[in-house]
Amino acid sequence: MVFNSLTFIVFFAVVLLLHSLPLNWVTKKINLLIASYIFYAAWNPPFVILLWISTVVDWYAAQGLVRAQRPASRRAWMLLSVVANVGMLAYFKYGSFLLANFSALMAGLGVDYRPPAYDIVLPVGISFYTFATMSYTLDIFLRRAQPARNFLDYALFVTFFPHLVAGPIMRPTELVPQFAQPRRASSSQLRFGLALITLGLFQKVVLADSFLAHPAELVYDGAAIPGALDAWVATLAFSGQIFCDFAGYSTTAIGVAMCLGFAMPDNFRFPYAAIGFSDFWRRWHITLSSWLRDYLYIPLGGNRHGEPRTYLALMATMLIGGLWHGASWTFVVWGGLHGLYLSAERALRTRFPGYRPGPIALLGFGLLTYALINVTWVFFRAKTFGKAGVVLGGMFGQNGSAAPILDTVYLVTVSGIIAGIVTAHWLMRTRTLESVVARAPTSVLSVTWALMAFAIIISQGTGNAFIYFQF
């Protein structure tokens, strides 16, 4: 079940109705838990079993951590959680990738190894909920959190449908305490939640699917060799598509949770106005960035053991972050490029510690950041290194006088939308959506809301799944 479908609208209306009935709080939580399982089962009912496994294993691992007296016992319980969750990821998400690479290695050594067919369906959202459940046991192991008081609250934390399949990646300390007391949205929360849902669906249905997806597909999925203009416009289109698609999901998820009376953290803060790459990762997929920082970068040494160790930790974290996104070497290269960018930025800051750029320089650095981010998107979007090389060749003028691929209407539409997105991000760079809404006239908000809703309704969408569902 996807947010941008009539099925979800009916589903959410029923959930909202049940949540508003005069039932006791435990019953309402059970209703939410059942609804969350229905939401997930709509894709593939047997995969609910994986949710149960992840939930039960981490619940009992956390209980074992609390009872364990010896350090070895505590490590054993922590490893049980990590092995179970990473094991599921490895089997379902990376099994085929590992097998293919092993076969290639054997072929390189002259061994004719032909593995059996590996036809495994990737469970939707497995990367998200395994990271969420691992954070529960890891935080308890590191003594940063206490276990949930009852199994119902923990199970609801794992399966809560707004964040279940594509984030934000919730920490137990952010959501479990909210289940302790009855929660119901106030009228202002309900209005703002519905507005966020509208904004998120507008980003997904209208901008990402209706305007930006097709130009990117024509270049990245077609056989024609793109020239400089086509390559850049298609890559810019994908930069807008991936933002509107994923930020649209996160915004909708936050709005859905708010309508039920729950708060979820921001996952995006206008990332295309980032000045530098550390700033970008403080604004893009924020909950994943913080997860990688807390559970990978810092345990690998962070910046506490000298510059060489810091650069190694940065590169390892970003390479793993790239692989998290997909079982392909193109994603690893995408993560590696970000690791190189972050390392180069750190080196420059160390070399010029007193440098304070002025407004013009800040704008220049911001546009350079966005341009280099677009280079990384090529590897994120391209299905093969061959296609990535062809697109990069076009972007840097190596494809000669290639025949045009994109019509003028695509060139104009993409340019206008991307210019609007980047401008909006710069205008909102130091602001929050809540503060702008609070100061805006009611008439302006009403008209904007109505126009977005009208655009969603008239868009000829097909309920396309969100891009990050595949991760």
Catalytic residues: 325
What are the CA-CA distances from residue 133 to residues 54, 81, 159, 313, 454 (Å)? 7, 8, 10, 24, 39
Q: How far apart (Å, rounded) are the C-alpha atoms in residues 326 and 108?
A: 24
**Cα-Cα-Cα-Cα dihedral sign, residues 275, 278, 282, 283:** positive
Residue spans of alpha helices (H) in 382-431: 385-395, 408-427
Q: How far lies 322's CA from each of 6, 143, 296, in Å? A: 33, 29, 13
- Going by C-alpha positions, the residue among 299, 314, 301, 304 that lies closest to residue 347 is 314
| Distance from C-alpha of 269 to C-alpha of 183, rounded to nearest angstrom | 27
Euclidean distance between CA atoms 155 and 137, whole angstroms? 14
342 backbone dihedrals φ, ψ, rounded to 5°: -65, -40
85 phi, psi to nearest 5 deg:
-75, -45
Neighbour tally for 404: CB within 10 Å:
12
Which residues have CB under 8 Å from 330's CB, separation 6+?
Answer: 379, 380, 382, 383, 384, 385, 388
d(CA 50, CA 85): 10
* Amino acid, single-letter form, for residue 61: A
For residue 163, give both structure tokens: 């964040």
User: To 5 degrees, how large is the angle CA 356–CA 360–CA 366?
Assistant: 85
Q: What is the DSSP letter of 115?
A: P
Backbone torsions φ then ψ of 296, nearest 5 degrees: -125, -60
CA pair distance 254, 271, nearest whole angstrom? 18
Tell me the helix, strand and coil percentages in the chain, rounded to 5.
70, 0, 30
DSSP state of 208: I
The number of CA neighbours under 13 Å toward the Cβ of 344 is 10
Helices (H), 68-167: 71-92, 95-108, 126-141, 151-159
The three-class DSSP label of residue 239 is helix
